[in-house]
Amino acid sequence: MRLIAPIAKRVARLALVLTCVALVSYGLMMASPIDPVDAYLGPQMAKVGPEQRALIAQRWGFDEPPAVQFGHWLRQLVGGDLGWSHVYNQPVSEVIAQRFQRSIALLGSAWMLSTLVGFSLGVLAGAKEGSKLDNIISTYAFITASTPAFWLAILAVLLFSVTLGWTPTCCAGPAGALNQEVSVATRLHHLLLPVTTLALLGIANITLHTRTRMLELMRSDVATHAFAQGASRIDVAWRHGLRHASLPAITLAFASLGELFGGSILIEQVFAYPGLGQATVAAGLRSDVPLLLGIALFTALFVSVGNMIADSLYGVIDPRIKAGGL
Amino acid sequence: MAKPIQPILLGIALSCLVVATTVHAKQQLVLAIGGEPEQGFDPLLGWGQYGNPLFQSTLLSRSKDLAPQPELATEWSLSEDRLTWTLTLREDARFADGSPLTAEDVAYTFNTAAQAGGRADLSALDVATALDKHTVSLRLKAPRITFIDQLLTLGIVPHAERDNGYREQYGRHPLGSGPYQLVEWQEGEQLIVERNPYFYGPTPAFERLVFLFTGEDATLSAAHAGQVDIASVPSALAANVPAHMQRVIMESVDNRGILFPMQPVNGEHTASGAPIGNDVTADIAVRQAINLAVDRDTLVEVALHGYGRPAFGPADGLPWSASDERLVAPDPEQAAEILDAAGWQLGDDGLRYKEGLPASFRLTYPSGDTTRQLLAEVSAEMVRPLGIEIQPTGRHWDEIQREALHQDAIMFGFGSHSPQEVYYLFHSQHAGNGFYNSGFYANPAVDAHLDAAQAASSFEQANREWQAAQWDGTSGYGVRGDSSWAWLVNLEHVYFTNTCLDVGDLGVAPHGHGWPITANLLEWRWTCD
């Protein structure tokens, strides 16, 4: 019984967030100066007469007033239908499903990598405070924390793909290979560079937080007691530190999902990786309202769930922070 | 959707890979020229309007000089009243599943496309009818010679009632009678196609084509890494040619020019609220002087890095444009004489005035288009010594439509394989209709020629009328007549191709860089062993 109230509160808050996201995104799309018929026609603007323009507007529903279009979209949404994307001439749910499969490989691997590497580096640096290793790790973390991901991505392509030829220049598979011919190793080879650059986004953050937690522990009574019994710094870090620092790291990892999502859109552009990022850019530039709203809702849901998990974990780490509180 | 038999495909694919790595004739060509249609390969929604429809075939095709020649249709005629096209189809055309293509499929394609609300404009069509298995008739609502564009560009799809017929997801599983058939489309990434064994025409030189849909940066990276055989490149980056590749230039009518508002200010507005008219550009002397003052060769060097040629009309070098339409420019002396004769006096501030009105106006370009910005700014410098002040102004397209479209000069880009564009740009019927005749140009003699062209009995007769609209000896929209535009440059489209690839005679590209290069794909050859 005591669990139901906070969960209900969370769900209500999530619904509110999603409603706001939908309204704001829709408002922005309506304020966007792009004429959807022109965007649809692209370079063929000058080949189409006025009758055909009217037919296009009618066929894709561009000619109704904004409020009517939004109402229509809401009604569909309540019926579980995200609408129809005119850019891809496909149901929005299909576009998102198809492209998210690709993005999740990139996002998931980068997320795992940044959590694991960030955590390990943080523990190492924190265990040996002030050592050379600590200085190197801290410096590295501060530098990458302030590096724009897309810039790093462009540099990486130039160095590893063009100059050295170690990694492919683009895409999720080699040119001319059918999906079924592409081995797991090849897929990983194509993911290597995008995942590494995206992971660099998250590593620094987690490293610095974990290091701070470790420092706390190494100066605590628990550690002093252990040292008195003859344990080495590594022993203490391994036995107590891991447990002490792992929860904040995981929490942070969940909370940084949103950042990662934003970063992945840029990274996908640089590596021409066909994920949700590409579809988002196309939807925005070509006034595909249902698709952009669908992606916005999906992203908001994804990030909110990540934050919710992070919130709940905070409660576990520190009982003073009550679940359902602010 | 029945999936092709995968093991067989895999076999073919693997053998291709094996063959491609040996020294035999090259089987697989990799192209990075953009042009991915996100909606898929559905002609009813506009696929194939440019370049090569690849999967489908069209009724007619264009020769090098853009005249219609047989493709699916072996004979065609237009009735006396110019309303009905009757076409006889070849009998050996088959879809990639081996079934014959008949007049039923053609009639279905045209009737459905007219209702589809896609990019193919068939609003002129009344009804298409299959007269027998190999004869089809297309009846129009009104005479319109440019309907021939649809015979040239609309790919024929299978009738919905038959096996493997047209259905909603056709764009992702296209079935046609063209030279290639789809093997796999990895959306946002690449398209893999192989020869259609039932194609009626000559066997294409390459068994397999791979189209990479990468952005500019990734395309260049891939070209420098030696992973593509042909890549489209922006002219600004054309200097640095990768090893084992050469630069190939495709001529185009992808043009840029200055549209002048033709009406004096009279307080009128369009339905959208945009004010109409400009007292300075409404004076023909100003328009003629600007046409004479701009140095088009220098504009090509500065704004296009040398990849272009001077432009004097909307369709330079095409059959519906007068071949002698050009100016000896720059000629500042003659420009100054014209202005003096028209009463534009040079003031102390270096600006000309006529009855107190300064010779000054805005030249609006879409912000973000650096080429157009350069053209606007350099042209402004070129006419300044004459005493004319052009103020280059960057705005978003939306703001251009609401504010500038009918009262400022606009830096436009056009260029089409069809004279329909000439009709849209200069017929008074399209005055104020979106981007078409936005300067409200109206000349009854020009209208008469344009209407006569649309009602012509043949492509050739229509061309004579299109040319007369530009200049018929007494008037016209061109530089010898009303000088309604100052056309500046035609772009050249730059590609890097493998030194072993012979792309033949590329012809002339329309507005748009990339896919149009595939128009003569069947002529491409691999010249190395």
For residue range A227-271, what is the model confidence (pLDDT) as tens digits? Answer: 888 888 777 777 777 777 777 788 888 888 887 888 888 888 777
A145 in contact with B, Cβ within 8 Å? no
Cβ count within 10 A of residue A27? 12
DSSP B387: T
A291 in contact with B, Cβ within 8 Å? no
What residues 162-201 of chain A have any CB closer than 8 A to a CB of chain B?
A: 162, 165, 169-173, 175-181
Pairing mode, strands B84-89 and B135-140 = antiparallel
B182, B174 in Cβ contact below 8 A? Answer: yes
The span from the CA of A20 to the CA of A128, in Å, is 47
Residue of A nearest to B117 (CA): A56
- B49–A172 CB contact, under 8 Å: no
- B188–A278 CB contact, under 8 Å: yes
Cα within 13 Å of Cα(B279), Cβ side: 12
Residue of A nearest to B212 (CA): A175
The span from the CA of B493 to the CA of A230, in Å, is 76
A98 in contact with B, Cβ within 8 Å? yes
A62 in contact with B, Cβ within 8 Å? no
Residues with Cβ within 8 Å of residue B40, at least 6 apart in sequence: A89, B47, B170, B171, B172, B174, B185
- Residue ranges making up the domain that contains A308: 99-325
Helix (H, G, I), strand (E, B) or coil at B99: coil
What residues 219-278 of chain A have any CB closer than 8 A to a CB of chain B?
A: 269-272, 274-275, 278
Check whether residue A191 and residue A292 sit in a common domain. yes
A45 in contact with B, Cβ within 8 Å? yes
The span from the CA of B257 to the CA of B514, in Å, is 22
Alpha helices in chain A (DSSP H): 4-31, 36-41, 50-59, 66-78, 92-127, 132-145, 149-156, 184-218, 221-228, 233-236, 242-255, 257-271, 276-285, 289-317
Q: Where are the domains of chain B?
A: 1-36+187-251+493-529, 49-167, 255-491
Q: Which of A26-30, A127-131, A168-172, B113-117 has the lowest mean pLDDT?
A: A168-172
DSSP B419: T
A82, A91 in Cβ contact below 8 A? Answer: yes
- B39–A169 CB contact, under 8 Å: no
Check whether residue A81 and residue A132 sit in a common domain. no
Cβ-nearest to A41 among B13, B119, B218: B119
Q: How far apart are the first and last CA of chain B?
A: 40
For residue range A48-63, what is the model confidence (pLDDT) as tens digits? Answer: 888 888 888 888 888 8
For residue range B178-220, what is the model confidence (pLDDT) as tens digits? Answer: 999 999 999 888 999 999 999 999 999 999 999 998 888 788 8
Check whether residue A40 and residue A149 sit in a common domain. no
The span from the CA of B363 to the CA of B219, in Å, is 34
A92 in contact with B, Cβ within 8 Å? no
- A158–B221 CB contact, under 8 Å: yes
B2 in contact with A, Cβ within 8 Å? no
Cβ-nearest to A60 among B6, B117, B225: B117
Check whether residue A208 and residue A293 sit in a common domain. yes
The span from the CA of A137 to the CA of B38, in Å, is 45
Residues with Cβ within 8 Å of residue B10, at least 6 apart in sequence: A178, A180, A181
For an interface test with A, the pick among B126, B217, B426 (most A C-beta atoms closer than 10 Å) comes out as B217
- The CATH architecture one would assign to domain B49-167 is 3-Layer(aba) Sandwich (3.40)
Check whether residue A151 and residue A248 sit in a common domain. yes
Whether B1-36+187-251+493-529 shares its CATH topology with B255-491 is answered: no
Token pair listed for B476 = 């016209």
A125, A214 in Cβ contact below 8 A? Answer: yes
The span from the CA of B201 to the CA of A235, in Å, is 77
- A274–B189 CB contact, under 8 Å: yes
Residue A166: pLDDT band with limits 50, 70, 90? confident
- A173–B186 CB contact, under 8 Å: yes
Q: Is the dihedral of CA B418, B421, B423, B426 positive or negative?
A: negative
Check whether residue A128 and residue A76 sit in a common domain. no
The span from the CA of A254 to the CA of A258, in Å, is 9
Pairing mode, strands B389-395 and B360-366 = parallel
The span from the CA of B1 to the CA of B97, in Å, is 13
Residues of chain B with pLDDT under 50: 1-5, 7-24
Q: Which residue matches tokens 């220098």? A: B298
B369 in contact with A, Cβ within 8 Å? no
Check whether residue A111 and residue A225 sit in a common domain. yes
| Closest alpha carbon to B151 in B196, B200, B199, B89 | B89
Cβ-nearest to A282 among B38, B45, B396: B38
Check whether residue A179 and residue A150 sit in a common domain. yes
For domain B255-491, give the CATH number.
3.10.105.10
Check whether residue A103 and residue A80 sit in a common domain. no
SS3 string of B307-352? CEEECCCCCCCCCCCCCCCCCCCCCHHHHHHHHHHCCCEECCCCCE
**Residues of chain A with C-beta less than 8 angstroms from the C-beta of B416:** 46-47
What residues 180-209 of chain B have any CB closer than 8 A to a CB of chain A?
A: 183-184, 186-190, 192, 208
For an interface test with B, the pick among A86, A87, A89 (most B C-beta atoms closer than 10 Å) comes out as A89
B330 cis-preceded (ω within 30 degrees of 0): yes
For an interface test with B, the pick among A53, A90, A169, A183 (most B C-beta atoms closer than 10 Å) comes out as A169
What is the predicted pLDDT for the residue at A1?
53
Rg for chain A (alpha carbons), in Å?
24
What is the predicted pLDDT for the residue at B197?
95
Rg for chain B (alpha carbons), in Å?
25
The span from the CA of B350 to the CA of B389, in Å, is 9
Q: Which residues pair with B186 in a beta bridge?
A: B190
Residue of A nearest to B209 (CA): A176
Q: Which residues pair with B127 in a beta bridge?
A: B139
Helix (H, G, I), strand (E, B) or coil at B405: coil
Give Cα B528 to chain centroid, integer Å. Answer: 33
Residue of A nearest to B217 (CA): A270
Domain boundary among A45, A60, A91: A91
What is the predicted pLDDT for the residue at B493?
93
What residues 150-179 of chain B have any CB closer than 8 A to a CB of chain A?
A: 171
Could you tell me the strand order of the sheet in which B352-354 lies? B345-346, B352-354, B357-358
Domain boundary among A91, A121, A137: A91
**Residues of chain A with C-beta less than 8 angstroms from the C-beta of B420:** 47
User: Using alpha carbons only, what angle is made at residue A32 by residues A30 and A34, rounded to the nearest 5 degrees?
Assistant: 110
DSSP B101: P
Check whether residue A80 and residue A110 sit in a common domain. no
Cβ count within 10 A of residue A318? 11
Give the number of beta-carbon pairs within 8 Å between A and B. 148
Check whether residue A103 and residue A232 sit in a common domain. yes
The span from the CA of B86 to the CA of B8, in Å, is 42
Cβ count within 10 A of residue B348? 5
Mean pLDDT along residues A142-164? 83
| Closest alpha carbon to B41 in B28, B52, B55 | B55
Cβ-nearest to B416 among A46, A60, A170: A46
What is the predicted pLDDT for the residue at B23?
41
What is the predicted pLDDT for the residue at B19?
41
Pairing mode, strands B28-32 and B208-212 = parallel
Q: Measure Cα distances from B232 to A217, B31, B413, B506, B517 in Å.
A: 59, 9, 19, 14, 9
Q: Measure Cα distances from B220 to A213, A265, B391, B462, B492 in Å.
A: 46, 21, 36, 43, 18
Residue A323: pLDDT band with limits 50, 70, 90? very low
Residue of A nearest to B222 (CA): A169
Cβ-nearest to A179 among B186, B420, B424: B186
Q: Read off the amino acid at residue A270.
A: V
Cβ-nearest to B121 among A47, A172, A270: A47
Q: Measure Cα distances from B121 to A35, B147, B269 in Å.
A: 18, 9, 29
Element containing residue B130 per DSSP (H, E): strand B125-132
Q: Check which CATH number belongs to the domain holding A231 and give it.
A: 1.10.3720.10
**Residues of chain A with C-beta less than 8 angstroms from the C-beta of B10:** 178, 180-181
- A46–B435 CB contact, under 8 Å: yes
A213 in contact with B, Cβ within 8 Å? no
Q: Is the dihedral of CA B22, B23, B25, B31 positive or negative?
A: positive
- A272–B214 CB contact, under 8 Å: yes
Q: Measure Cα distances from B295 to B299, B343, B379, B383 in Å.
A: 7, 24, 8, 10
Q: Which residues pair with B437 in a beta bridge?
A: B431
Residue of A nearest to B414 (CA): A46
Helix (H, G, I), strand (E, B) or coil at A227: helix
The number of distinct structural domains making up chain A is 2
A94 in contact with B, Cβ within 8 Å? no
Maximum separation of any 2 CA atoms in chain A, in Å: 88
Is CATH 1.20.1560.10 the right assignment for the domain spanning B1-36+187-251+493-529? Answer: no
What is the predicted pLDDT for the residue at A325?
42
What residues 404-443 of chain B have any CB closer than 8 A to a CB of chain A?
A: 414, 416, 418, 420-421, 424, 433-436
Check whether residue A140 and residue A227 sit in a common domain. yes
Pairing mode, strands B245-259 and B485-498 = antiparallel
